[in-house]
Structure 1
């Protein structure tokens, strides 16, 4: 069975809905090859050859960028086409069965002036880390994109669905295969745990004022 649902190509690259995307888990998207080869090579060079973060919880920041001019190519395209992202992530095309509420986004989120910055952050979590508890990213973040960087095999981000109480679903971990969602009040609960090795992720957000 395919892990993908609807596919969007408006921005010149493929954005696919995960199979579990919908009224229970909110809209969750998959973007293959998020970073260009040059971008990925530059970031991969920041990953140390041996584990160094055993005492870290839940993560440590190794690098970050707040400048649009220095942002990754696809990050810039998503920022420049925010209205398209809002159309993809809307629940206007979702059938809300009994007991499933509409998505609640932060008020005025569609107005770009309310998004103050891009934040791209390379972060690491230690091997065998206990679960970082389910959270939604609602309030502080207008958009979340998670890009696996290393190792080749690790634990993917876990999505918990409406009110954080549903059967856990995930998109398989694959280097440079990003997952993207627009935080909602009740649907975007997600968490992560450590794998056999330190877990490196590029965490990209469109931020609201604090």
Structure 2
């Protein structure tokens, strides 16, 4: 008995698999690329939004004003010292035992603005005999800026003495050292005898701080 022989139409080599289509293979890659592009675009938009918010916030913060540096201390060589009106002292002295005041003017004779802050040092001298005035700490003060030609002042307070008595100095010179300086200038003393400060007594001979004129 013979069986019928079946024949196949076509060959294995001639059949095309669905995955073999290049266009079909490229489609998933294009989808992934598009997704990445959309993700990157969203990230870029978010970054731009963050920068815009930061820029707006920065514009709302007020800028700090620039702080100008204070002028340098006035040098003794740039200051012109003189007796000024306003004190109670009398030329030659009067009324021994009374408390007297004398005012000193300090004029900026330099070419630039400078600053005076604090107490000058003042020594009343009669040859080798001297009387140092103490700082009048009870008087408040602040720095004084002096433009060229401008003046400040300070006040000396002293107890008037009796000429020829013990414990009295008859000054010839007032030696003045401006604040923040080591150099001094001499002024001719014109206010008569001064009772020396006794260590056991309250201060009676003192110098006030520099203040505006």
Indicate the TM-score class for this superposition, using the shorter chain for normalisation.
Answer: under 0.3
Answer 1 or 2: higher relative contact order, Cα 8 Å, separation at least 6: 1
Q: TM-score when scaled to structure 2?
A: 0.27
Q: Considering only CA atoms, is the larger Rg found in Structure 1 or Structure 2? A: 2
Compare the two structures and name the one with the higher helix fraction.
2
Q: TM-score when scaled to structure 1?
A: 0.28
